[in-house]
């Protein structure tokens, strides 16, 4: 008995979701198709009913991750605005929080995939670069609105976000082996960036 179009779409989404979770946890090269399909609840043989290759799956994962990451960014900014809070400060505080550091499975995909990005296929690299560019544009707009001027907003967005990602990655790298150092990195990075925003 065949699978309906709707079921095929749902199966594909399940494969992408399982792949994203595993890729974030262990890296793209650290996950085989058999394991990936088992995690999604399917046999390995069904993979090629949905994707031409692993590279095609990785590109689909990256597209979805960048879209979801953009939606999360917008949600944080809108939440800050509705609470009459500074959206730039709110973004920094969320990004450099212990909760975000621990949320490797569903946190910011730009930090989650940064180690893999340069080794991915062209379509996935394009999706990552596009997501990064859109993030900079959105963050620059928020900074311009907060500062009341577009002057230097893009430069500030790139600088702030680059520092946020670096701080998060260093803190994550040692969180299991040296939690005190991980917290120190996160706290110092957050306080420095908040002070820079205030200045």
Grade residue 135 by pLDDT with cuts at 50, 70 and 90: very high
- Over residues 94-120, the mean pLDDT reads 93
Is the separation of the CB atoms in 119 and 128 below 8 Å?
no
- What does the pLDDT read at residue 106? 86
Q: What is the pLDDT of residue 163?
A: 97
Instruction: Please tell me the predicted confidence (pLDDT) of residue 3.
Output: 65
pLDDT at 81 over 70: yes
53-77 tens-digit pLDDT: 999 999 999 999 999 999 999 999 9
Query: Tokens 């991915």, residue?
Result: 120
The yes/no answer on whether domain 1-51 falls in CATH 1.10.357.10 is no
Q: Does domain 55-198 have CATH number 1.10.357.10?
A: yes
Count of Cβ atoms closer than 10 Å to residue 60 Cβ: 21
Say yes or no to pLDDT of 168 above 80: yes
- Contact 22/35 with Cβ under 8 angstroms? yes
Mean pLDDT, range 23-30, rounded to an integer: 90
Q: How confident is the model at residue 132 (pLDDT cuts 50, 70, 90)?
A: very high
CA angle 103, 186, 26 (to 5 degrees): 35
Which residue ranges make up each domain of the chain?
1-51, 55-198
| Side-chain half-sphere CA neighbours of 117 within 13 A | 18
Task: Report, as an integer, the average pLDDT of 95-113.
Answer: 94
* Cα separation, 84 vs 149, whole angstroms: 19
């Amino acid at each position: 008995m065949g699978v309906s179009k709707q079921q095929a779409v749902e199966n594909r989404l399940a494969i992408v979701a399982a792949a994203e979770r595993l890729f974030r946890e262990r890296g793209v090269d650290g996950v085989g198709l058999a394991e990936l399909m088992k995690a999604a609840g399917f046999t390995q043989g069904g993979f090629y009913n949905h994707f031409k290759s692993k590279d095609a799956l990785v590109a689909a994962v990256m597209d979805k991750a960048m879209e979801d990451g953009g939606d999360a960014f917008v949600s944080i900014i809108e939440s800050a605005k509705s609470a009459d809070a500074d959206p730039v400060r709110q973004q920094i505080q969320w990004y450099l929080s212990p909760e975000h550091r621990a949320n490797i499975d569903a946190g910011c995909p730009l930090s989650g995939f940064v180690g893999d990005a340069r080794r991915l296929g062209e379509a996935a690299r394009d999706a990552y670069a596009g997501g990064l560019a859109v993030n900079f544009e959105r963050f620059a707009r928020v900074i311009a609105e907060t500062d009341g001027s577009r002057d230097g907003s893009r430069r500030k967005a790139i600088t702030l976000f680059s520092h946020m990602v670096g701080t998060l990655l260093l803190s994550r790298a040692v969180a299991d082996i040296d939690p005190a150092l991980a917290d120190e990195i996160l706290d110092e990075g957050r306080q420095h960036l908040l002070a820079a925003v205030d200045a």
